[in-house]
Amino acid sequence: MPGSATTAIERVGISFEPELLSRFDGLVESRGYASRSEAIRDLVREELLRSEVSAGIGEVVGTLTILYDHERGDVTHRLLHMQHDHHARVLSTLHVHVDERNCLEVLVLRGGAREVKRLAEAIRAIKGVLYGQLVTSKPSL
């Protein structure tokens, strides 16, 4: 294809127990992969990412999804100030009124893996935050 970069691929062999291979083939099919190789590459990338983020290595982008009771204490005020205090890491937010008390907020974050993780932990620890989940990726896998 004109103008497209090609990536060198190295072949490796792996062995599976029959039951594990059968389950893996089910995963390959259910997720719509064209081949086992594509699925294995994705799983390896996912685990490398998880390991690097856990170790605080490199820059990450991601989302922090939180659910909170806006009537509980000063949770809204604290969340707003935390986001402004970290404006270089908080790229964007989406706010949804779930019901008369609860709000769902999605924060798009970017920065060093360690700093993004610490920010997410600090936000989840705010009294009134009922749920929080950080999902990260690297700008370049």
- CA-closest candidate to residue 63, choices 133, 121, 140: 133
- pTM above 0.85? no
pLDDT band (50, 70, 90) for residue 26: very high
As a whole number, mean pLDDT of residues 17-37 equals 95
Percent of the chain surpassing pLDDT 70 = 95
Q: Where are the domains of the chain?
A: 18-54, 59-137
Fold entry, domain 59-137? Alpha-Beta Plaits (3.30.70)
Residue 51: φ, ψ to 5°: -65, -45
pLDDT in tens, 58-116: 899 999 999 999 999 999 999 999 999 999 999 999 999 999 999 999 999 999 999 99
